[in-house]
Amino acid sequence: MKGSHSLDRLRLLGAAAWAAVAVSLALIFFVAREAVAAMGGQLQRIFYVHVPSAWIAYLAFAIVFVASIAFLRTNSRRWDLLAHAAAEVGVVFCTLVLITGPIWARPVWGTWWQWDARLTSAFVLWLTYVGYLFLRSFATDPGRAGRVAAVVGIAGFVNVPIVHFSVRWWRTLHPQGPTPADPSTGSGLGAPEMLAFFVSLAAFTLLFAYLLAVRVRLGRLADRAEAVEVLDARDRHPVEATA
Amino acid sequence: MSDVAWLFVAFLAVWAGIGAYLFTIAARQRRLERRLEDLESRR
């Protein structure tokens, strides 16, 4: 009964996320106006998916950070599952940031990539969490891998503020973007564009919550299958299991 | 390539990427459910 309720909630969250995505796409293409040529004109619309993807990557890696600390303190599998799921979803969104950025840069800057502070630190962030996932996939001792991965998850988060503030700390080609104090500063956005941006941000956040919940559920299912497998092996080879 | 074509490629990459990730999760889930059913039927 409890399972069916949680599945219903998951489906509801999925429906809400996709509905928000549909609204945000309508706003991006039919409400937001074309940007000035210096920002890429039509291409500036990539910003409405590039920036929310980066926000989700930050959020996901912050969850990895908190869940990893909680796991090391409590040794509870629940936190480990959450950290692993958040890292995987975070890598997906960080990959999208690293794909959409160069697609915008190629026609606007005339090059796919620049090894400047923002792009390099974002690439290092991506590599760190890809390494985290590899560590978990190829470890022979899952318990130890969970603890080592938690340390990587905590240490890797140090790079998130570096990525975010790199455009202010160093001279980079990357646009500075809005600040919380003055959201329109540096973005060249008016009210319709800000609306499209914040709705897109909300839609991506809902989508992230949905993907995270689905991924945590998958982790729980894998744990259950493993537990049944152990019991099954014990039933078939009781002497070896007790030895 | 025109600006609109670049824009199309960027949005395609985002939604195809998220779609592909959802597809792999669904495939992993189906595989696990089959394994679980198989194990539970043996017990």
Tens-place pLDDT, residues A40-82: 788 889 999 999 999 999 999 999 999 999 999 999 999 999 9
- Residue A85 sits at the vertex; the CA angle it makes with A82 and A90, to the nearest 5 degrees, is 120
Which residues of chain B does A42 touch, with a Cβ-Cβ cutoff of 8 Å?
A: 3-4, 7
Can you tell me the ipTM of this complex? 0.92
Tell me whether residue A194 is exposed, middle or buried, using C-beta atoms within 10 angstroms of its C-beta: 0 to 12, 13 to 18, 19 or more.
middle
Each residue of A166-200: pLDDT tens digit?
A: 888 888 878 776 555 555 555 567 888 899 999 99
Average pLDDT, chain A: 89
| Structural domain that includes position B41 | 1-43
pTM of the full structure: 0.89
User: Rounded CA gap, B31 and B34, in Å?
Assistant: 5
Compare CB distances from B7 to A43, A225, A231 and report the shortest one's residue: A43
CB contact under 8 A, A92 and B21: yes
Nearest to B32 among A211, A214, A222 (CB): A222
> What is the reported pLDDT for A182?
55
CA distance A182 to chain B (A): 27
Task: Indicate the number of domains in chain B.
Answer: 1
Between the alpha carbon of residue A238 and those of residues A228, A232, A234, A235, A241, the distances in Å are: 15, 10, 5, 6, 5
- Tell if the CB–CB gap between B7 and A107 is shorter than 8 Å: no
Rounded CA separation A145/A166 (Å): 31
- Rounded CA-CA distance A242/A225 in Å is 21
**Max Cα–Cα distance, chain A, nearest Å:** 75
Sign, CA torsion A25/A111/A177/A123? positive
Identify whether the C-beta of residue A215 lies closer than 8 Å to the C-beta of residue A85.
Answer: yes
Spatial contact of A14 and B26, defined as CB atoms under 8 Å apart: no
Q: Is residue A166 part of a domain?
A: yes
Please indicate, yes or no, if residue A92 is contained in any of the structural domains. yes
Helices (H) and strands (E) in chain A, counts: 8, 0
Domain containing residue A74: 47-177+191-242
Domain annotation covers residue A106: yes
Q: Total domain count for chain A?
A: 1
What is the spatial distance between Cα A149 and Cα A141, in angstroms, rounded to a whole number?
12
Residue A29, domain member (yes or no): no
The confidence score (pLDDT) of residue A170 equals 83
Query: Rounded distance, CA A44 to CA A117, Å?
Result: 21
How far is the alpha carbon of A225 from chain B, nearest alpha carbon, in Å?
A: 5
Higher pLDDT, A97 or A188: A97
